[in-house]
Structure 1
Amino acid sequence: MGCFECCIKCLGGVPYASLVATILCFSGVALFCGCGHVALAGTVAILEQHFSTNASDHALLSEVIQLMQYVIYGIASFFFLYL
């Protein structure tokens, strides 16, 4: 058996569906993490620009939003560990 036939036989046993599903799952988690971060950062920007004139008015809300960003990172890391 030559090298080509051996490679074809070996590649025949690769679970391609599982690999594609794993890549899609990792992509989904990364997209969730990125979009959540951008959305919460945009929320803070909108809050500062349109609804608040004093930074101390929304200090607690900004801290809660930052905490939510860290929660998103925690959930994403849990998803990666779960796979």
Structure 2
Amino acid sequence: MITVWPPDRFEVRCTFPPPDSTTSDRYHFAEFAYEAARRHREVGRAQHVQVVRLSDGGVLFDLAASHELPLEAW
């Protein structure tokens, strides 16, 4: 089967106050994952935001740990 979408490379994980709990979204492009993480942080509703590179499990963004690699390193 041929897909029109490229494979996912990044996962944005968020934890929100109840009743919303947790969500995760996957992105192929680093720019989209980066923008999603930054927007979650700026809105301020998420208690925790983390971006993981799916190929190796590397944490690229972690709100709780104040860890944010520049987009060029993603």
Whose radius of gyration is greater, 1 or 2?
1
Scaled by the length of structure 2, the TM-score of the pair is: 0.31
Structure number having the greater strand percentage: 2
Scaled by the length of structure 1, the TM-score of the pair is: 0.28
Structure number having the greater helix percentage: 1
Q: Which has the higher contact order (CA 8 A, sep 6+)?
A: 1
